[in-house]
Amino acid sequence: MSEALNRRGFLKISAALAAVPVVSELTGTYLFAQEAPNLIQNGEVVTGTHWGVLKVTLKNGKVVKSEALSSASKIPNALQENTADMIYKSRVKYPMVRKSYLADPDNPKPALRGSEEFVRVSYEDAIKLVARELKKTRQEKGIDSVFAGSYGWKSVGNVHNSRILLHRFMNLSGGFTGSLGDYSTGASQVIMPHVVGSISVYEQQTSWPVILEDSDIVVLWGANPISTLRISWQVDDGQAFGYLEKLKNSGKKVIIIDPRRSATVKYFDKAEWIAPRPNTDTAIMLGMIYHLLSTNNYDKDFLENYTVGFEKFTPYVLGKVDGVEKTPAWAAKISGVKESVIKDLAKRFFDNRTMLMSGWSLQRAHYGEQPHWMLVTLASMLGQIGLPGGGFSLGHHYSGAGVPSRKGGVVGGMNAASVGHFDANGKFLGTGEKTASAGETGASWKLKVSASSFPVARIADALMNPGKKIQHNGRELTYPDIDFIYWVGGNPFAHHQDTNTLVKAWKKPRTVVVNSIYWTPTAKMADIVFPTTSQYERNDIAMIGDYSNHGISPMKQLVQKQFEAKDDYQIFSDLCLAYEGKGLYNAYTDGGKDEMQWIEEYYNSAYNAVKANPDLVTDMKPFAEFWANNKPIIFDSTMESEAFVKFKSFRDDPILEPLGTPSGLIEIYSKTIEKMKYDDCFPYPRWFEPIEWLGMENKPAQFHMISPHPHDRLHSQQNQTSLRDRYAVGNHEPIWINPKDAAKKGIKNGDTVRVFNARGEALAGAVVTDDIIEGVVCLEEGVWYDPSKPGIVGAICKNGSPNMLTIDIPSSQLANGNISHTALVNIEKFSGKKEPLTAFSAPKGA
């Protein structure tokens, strides 16, 4: 037993009167004390969450109230109220192994995954089992057979960052296959570097104060910020809502383009609401472009000085390439938006300082690479990019981009380490260049272990088709042969398209391990489940405000760890011990650090930077005082950040501040993409008919289903809370259907309906409303898949997940993004026998 462990053991003994640290005789693993001393039993504790800094009230050691610590606006955020439910409901209590896997891991009958009962095991046995099977898989099938991309939104917190902790373990223990990209901006994050030279979607945007000062028109195109600004990747700063309030009160013209009257449309009650058919935005933009061209109302100087390729794009617009002129009339026929409206909008955008804010729904569709490329082209013709309050933004609806950046400290965080090397006896050698396997340099080894990454939304395709070659952004990738999946902090059975295909694909690997707080549909599809702590059962630290760096939030533990839940950090530390021993363990834990030591180290990154900078006036206290105060530290913005205009530095000096494109300018025509010769992504932005849409001949189903980010969840987080009681209809997810469509189907408000197509079916609760246009239905994503027959392909989802109906094909060969907003469905009133909802209940055996 290492000295570091003994020392900490001693400290825990002296600190915790109750818990006696136990060393497992079987694994030699040190079982950290489960009991945390000195938790507040009665009073208020501050912590940070995806939905803001919260003040949580405890009574007799239980959470009784949860609310924002402070608000920058009157816009409510119901996500902040449900901390108790996030602790007490639907918990995985004990380590579980699926019965046939436990009986014979080498012949585990993966066909039974999801339907077979679980058997409770001891934590030590689960650790030994996972370590053994992971090692065996690597030895027999190679490193790339281990898939640990583990996409998901997890919890905030820089220490207990579950996905990074998994990657850290997988790297140090030898390597793994990861994934590329994400489900939020799958298409745009790949096309935007070609067009404007950087990722665009995850960058700070023109500041709200500038927009409020200088914009005349603000367009929200496929964006729903009243809903989406409730959450952030880091702790939400709540500031953007304040700016939306100011925008509403400013009298500025707000134009919202969305097939539904979203919460944002309702909030901006004086806005113009334009409702196109889903997936037709590129065509609308083309109609506008044609109109500007034909009326000679566009900025030739801007195009000349700041873009390349416009002259190669216009023949397409004018019908010289495919014989079709992309007129406003043409666009009206495709989109359902009137020709006069398209012309009028184009002219008004040109004549006024216009900020085109676009959400990510546009690109979460077939050929999703096109809409934002076309938007940048349109904005280039308007010539206002880089001017205060003008141009375009792909970020104002997300995590507070546009809230002026603060100057202060940034806390450090857990990182994913590097690939570890082992000798022939399995002894851990380290991660450096010198320790690479004989005959390989560190660099080539690193390339080898990472070469198998694939686009995140191709998971089912990869599982089903090992060795298949695909095109991705100009290069060829080969899918690995996945035999081991480890997932933490995510719920692919909520977020991935075409759930039935995923169920089928998921049965291919020999081993599936899931760390989960709750009995999510993904946990139910595992072989081995470790119960993990929620953020409320551990200590951590996080930044407030993804783009604003508004401040630093303490995340103090609220309650004791529930049942046998353990921190991911402990699970992976113990896996290190079981996999190799102290060498790997010490590398992973940096010599046995515990959570408070990491938190203090990360705090001090910020503290030391602030103290060293005489410009910063923030009164940051030493760590012990900060932690005892349990209050967030808030930083101040600067005059520069308040006045930040995106692309201004490029516009002012394109030579010293070029864009990251080959030409240094905006590329309306891309030679790089031209060389790829893709038939689904041309060298300039184009209209492509989606595989399923309302304008097609021989529609496979009647209605276009959109599945936007939910108002009352963070994707699938909080589906299990009592917040659901406010929106569920007949105990199902609500589906919006237009009154005219409902009448034809004999569907009344509140009816249970069956939503179905060739890919699957789900039960939903009808909300008959003219908040959705005819021909379109809306079923929000993030619903916990609840199959009537667990683990069986084709089972109906009793909760109402839209991914029973969505399509699992890539946006195009450029980005291979997910296309969740492209799907046609049928609806009928459900008259069958209703079975009880089991979405939030534990499975058999648990």
Partner 1 sequence: MIRNLLLTAIVATAIVAGEVAYSTKEKNVYLEANSDRVVGKLLPTNAIEILEEVGDRVKFKIEGFQNPKTGSIIYYTTKARIFSLAFARTAEPELEVLDDSLEDGWRRVSTIAYTTKGDFESKLEPMMQRAGKLYSDNCSMCHTLHEVNHYTANQWPPTFKGMIERTPLDKDDIWLVTQYLQKNAKDMK
Q: Which residues are catalytic?
A: 151, 153
Interface mask (CB under 8 A) for partner 1, residues 296-335, using x and -? ----------------------------------------
- Is 638 near partner 1 (CB under 8 A)? no
> Which CB atom, from 9 or from 395, has the smaller least distance to partner 1?
395
Count residues binding partner 1 (CB under 8 A): 45
Residues 6+ apart with CB under 8 A from 608: none
Q: Does 639 bind partner 1 (CB under 8 A)?
A: no
653-658 own/partner pairs: CB under 8 Å, 24+ apart: 654/305, 654/306, 658/197
When asked if residue 520 is in the footprint of partner 1 (CB under 8 A), the reply is: no
CB-wise, 47 or 171, nearer to partner 1?
Answer: 171
Cβ neighbours, 10 Å, residue 427: 12
Position 578: which residue type? A
Judged by CB under 8 A, which of 82, 83, 158, 816 binds partner 1?
A: 158
Q: Which of 122, 418, 435, 465 binds partner 1 (CB under 8 A)?
A: 418
CA–CA dist 538, 656 (Å, integer): 47
- H or E segment to which residue 530 belongs: strand 528-531
Q: Are 685 and 817 contacting, i.e. CB atoms less than 8 angstroms apart?
A: no
Per CB under 8 A, which region of 176-184, 343-351, 457-465, 693-701 contacts partner 1?
A: 176-184
Q: Which of 87, 92, 411, 737 is in the footprint of partner 1 by CB under 8 A?
A: 411
285 or 681: whose CB is closer to partner 1?
681
Minimum gap (Å) between residue 36 Cβ and partner 1: 25
Which x/- pattern, by CB under 8 A, does the window 430-469 give for partner 1?
A: -----------------x--x-------------------
Q: 494: part of which helix (H) or strand (E)?
A: helix 492-495
415 near partner 1 (CB under 8 A): yes
Q: How far is the CB of 413 from partner 1 (least distance, A)?
A: 4
Taking alpha carbons only, the member of 279, 241, 240, 272 closest to residue 257 is 272
> Rg of the chain's alpha carbons, rounded to an integer?
27
Options 61, 660, 750, 845; binder of partner 1; rule CB under 8 A:
660
Distance CA 561, CA 555 (A): 15
Q: Which stretch binds partner 1 (CB under 8 A): 7-15, 195-203, 421-429, 506-514?
A: 195-203
Least distance (Å) from partner 1 to the CB of residue 372? 16
Chain positions 536 to 555 lying near partner 1, rule: CB under 8 A, are 543, 546-547, 549
8 or 648, CB closer to partner 1? 648
Closest separation between CB of residue 199 and partner 1, Å? 6
CA angle 450–455–457, rounded 5-degree value = 140
Distances (CA, A) of 578 to 24, 29, 129, 657: 11, 8, 9, 52
C-alpha 355/C-alpha 389 separation (Å) is 6
Instruction: Spell out, one character per residue from 591 to 630, where the chain touches partner 1: x when CB under 8 A holds, - when not.
Output: --------------xx--x---------------------
Label residues 51-65 b or e (16+ Cβ within 10 Å = b).
bbbbbbbbeeeebee
* 355 counts as binding partner 1 under rule CB under 8 A: no
Find the shortest distance in angstroms from Cβ 555 to partner 1: 16
Cβ–Cβ contacts within 10 Å for residue 102, how many?
A: 18
Q: Which is nearer to partner 1, 667 or 751 (CB)?
A: 667
Binding range to partner 1, per CB under 8 A, among 11-19, 126-134, 364-372, 404-412 = 404-412
The least CB distance from residue 666 to partner 1, in Å, is: 12
CB of 653 to partner 1, least distance (A): 7
211 to 74, 207, 298, 387, 403: CA distances (angstroms) = 21, 7, 22, 10, 11
405 binds partner 1 (CB under 8 A): yes
414 forms part of the interface with partner 1 (CB under 8 A):
yes
Region of 196-204, 357-365, 464-472, 743-751 interacting with partner 1 (CB under 8 A): 196-204
Binders in 86-145 for partner 1, by CB under 8 A: none
Closest separation between CB of residue 309 and partner 1, Å?
Answer: 16
Are the C-beta atoms of 495 and 521 separated by less than 8 Å? no
The DSSP 8-state label assigned to residue 508 in this structure reads S
Q: Which two tokens stand for residue 107?
A: 């012949």
Burial annotation 509-541 (CB, 10 A radius, 16+ → b, else e)? bbbbbbbbbbbbbbbbbbbbbbbbbbbbbbbbb
The verdict on 642 binding partner 1 (CB under 8 A) reads no
By the rule CB under 8 A, 190 interacts with partner 1: no
The residue range among 30-38, 84-92, 414-422, 514-522 that interacts with partner 1, by the rule CB under 8 A, is 414-422
Q: How many CB atoms lie within 10 A of CB 580?
A: 22
Query: Applying CB under 8 A, which of residues 34, 173, 179, 719 lies at the interface with partner 1?
Result: 179
Q: Which phi and psi (to 5°) does residue 283 adopt?
A: -65, -40
- Straight-line distance from the first to the last Cα atom of the chain, in angstroms, rounded to the nearest whole number: 34
Taking CB under 8 A as the criterion, the residue among 653, 744, 750, 758 binding partner 1 is 653
**Cα separations (Å) of 707 from 55, 225, 370, 581, 782?**
32, 16, 20, 47, 9
Separation CA 416–CA 450 (nearest Å): 13
Instruction: Report yes or no: 820 and 782 within 8 Å, Cβ to Cβ.
Output: no
Select from 58-66, 264-272, 415-423, 574-582 the region that touches partner 1 (CB under 8 A): 415-423
Q: Quick one: 304 or 770, whose CB is closer to partner 1?
A: 304
3-state SS, residue 636: strand
Give the phi and the psi of residue 274 in degrees, each rounded to 5.
-115, 125
Q: Measured between alpha carbons, how far is 156 from 518 in angstroms, rounded to an integer? A: 16
Range in contact with partner 1 (rule: CB under 8 A) among 18-26, 55-63, 654-662, 817-825? 654-662
Where does this chain touch partner 1 (CB under 8 A) — which range of 120-128, 246-254, 588-596, 655-663? 655-663
> Is residue 178 at the binding interface for partner 1, with CB under 8 A as the rule?
yes
Residues that bind partner 1 (CB under 8 A): 149, 158, 161, 164, 167, 178-179, 182, 193, 197-199, 202-204, 233-234, 405, 409-416, 418, 447, 450, 543, 546-547, 549, 605-606, 609, 653, 655-656, 658-662, 664
